[in-house]
Structures are given as structure tokens and as C-alpha cells.
Amino acid sequence: MTDDASVAGEPGTQTLDDLLDDIFRAQERVTQAEIYRRAVAAELPPDLLARIDALPEGEYAVDEASDLLGGSIA
């Protein structure tokens, strides 16, 4: 196992956490559409894009988005 192994064996967790950190840096809440647009622009893997696309429309705080997407941001 390497040092960059994903948390709890979940591929892409660090990538997702990095994206959410970047998106929510200057905002408290962000829409699902904005999260998806930023994920596409960041060229996230298809499995992560599918999880983001499956989020219900609406606004999310960073902890809500992380919980729903399987990230590790608390």
C-alpha cells in the first residue's frame, strides 16, 4: 500500500476533497450544478462525475456535499 492510498479504500477521495476545498474556499453554499461544472473542468474521473451528477438539485455546504459524495471533509 502506498502513501497516496485513498481513505477507506475509496478511489478518488483525495481528489474529491481537493475539489471541494477549492470550490468552497470563498463560499458557504454552492449549487449542485456549480459543483458539477467545476468537477468537469477539473477533469475528475467518470465515477466521481456520476456521483456529483446524481446529487439532487439545490445548494450544499461543504460538509453536506462531502457526506453525500463520500469525501472525508468534516
Give the separation between CA 71 and CA 24, rounded to whole angstroms: 14
Per-residue pLDDT tens digits of the chain, which is 74 residues long: 333 433 444 557 888 999 999 999 989 999 999 999 999 999 999 999 999 999 999 999 999 999 999 888 86
Here the cell at position 20 is: 471541494
Q: What is the pTM of this model?
A: 0.80
The residues pairing with 30 across neighbouring beta strands, listed in sequence order, are 60
Degrees, nearest 5: CA angle 27-45-35: 20
Domain ranges (residues) in the chain: 10-69
Task: Give start and end residues of each alpha helix (H) in 1-74.
Answer: 13-23, 32-41, 46-53, 62-69
